[in-house]
Amino acid sequence: PHGASANRVPFEAHVMSKCPDARDCLQQLVIPAMEQISDKVDFELSFIANVSNSTSDVECMHGPGECIGDMLILCAANLPFPSDGSNTYPRTPVIRSLGYANCLIGDYPDIPDRKLVEQCALEHGIEFDALNKCASEQNDEIRGGDEKSPLSGLGLLRESASHSAELGISTSCTVRLDESVWCVRDGGAWKDCAKDGKGSDVSVLVDEIKRLYGERN
C-alpha cells in the first residue's frame, strides 16, 4: 500500500541553476537515484542565493540570469498540473519538474535563454506561458497573500533560498537525506559523502533510502 508522504524519506538537493556542480550532481546522483526510488522519498530541489531582509531583492552568485533560472525551476515544481487555471490539481509531478530542472541545468551556460526555457518546457510537458508568468511575478510573497493571486517566482525563490540559508547550506550542490548532509559536489569533485565517502555511488544512496523507508513503513 502507498504510505502517506509522512512515511517517505526526506531527500533534498540544494543547488544554483548556473553551476556545473549542480549539473553533475543531478546527472550523476540525484536523477539516477530518483528513477529507482521516487515513490519512497519526499523530494525537494532547493536553491542557494542571498535574500535581502530590507528589500525584496535576491542576489544570485552567477548573476541575475541565475535567479531567473532558479525561479523558472521553482515555478515548474509548484504550478498546478495540468495548468488549466483551476487550482484543484496537485502540483506538477516531481519526476516531470525534476526533469525540467535537469534539462535547464544540463545547459546551464544558456540559462535563461528563451529558446532553452521553451524547449525544456516542451520536452517535459510544462506550459511555457504559465512558467513565464510565474517567473515574471515580482511579489515577494509566494501568492501575494491569498490562494487566488498568481504564483510568484520571486516569492518561491525567497522562501527556497531562506530555507537553505537557515540550514547553513551555501555550497552547490549539497545533497541531504533524512535531514542530514549525504554528499557534496564542489569544484568538480564529490566531498563529505556519507558511508565512508561511498555516498556518491547511486546504488549506495538507493540502498540507504530503501533501508530508511523500510524502517518507516
pTM for the full model? 0.91
Residue 23 in this model has a pLDDT that exceeds 80: yes
**C-alpha cell, 145:** 497573500
Residue 91: the pLDDT is: 64
Instruction: Note the pLDDT of residue 151.
Output: 85
Superfamily of domain 9-216: Glutaredoxin (3.40.30.10)
List of residues 6+ apart from 86 with CB closer than 8 A = 80
The dihedral through the CA atoms of 95, 100, 105, 106 has a sign that is positive
| Sign of torsion over alpha carbons 127, 130, 135, 140 | negative
Residues 12 and 176: beta-carbon distance below 8 Å: yes
Task: Give the least confident one: 14-28, 128-142, 193-207.
Answer: 128-142
Tens digits of per-residue pLDDT, 50-109? Answer: 999 888 899 999 999 999 999 999 999 998 765 555 544 556 788 899 999 999 999 999
Please state, for a pLDDT cut of 70, what percent of the chain lies above it: 89
Q: What is the mean pLDDT of the segment spanning 206-211?
A: 98
pLDDT, position 2 = 47
- Return d(Cα 205, Cα 112) in angstroms, integer: 31
What average pLDDT does this structure show over 176-202? 98
pLDDT at 1 over 80: no
Mind spelling out the 3-state secondary structure of 47-106?
ECCEECCCCCCEECCCCHHHHHHHHHHHHHHHCECCCCCCCCCCECCHHHHHHHHHHHHH
Q: What pLDDT score was predicted for residue 48?
A: 99
Is residue 165 predicted with pLDDT exceeding 60?
yes
Sole residue written with cell 548532509: 181
For residues 4 and 172, is the Cβ–Cβ distance under 8 A? no
pLDDT value, residue 140: 77
* 147 band by pLDDT with thresholds 50, 70 and 90: low
Amino acid at 142: I
Domain boundaries, the chain: 9-216
Find residue 183's DSSP bridge partners. 175
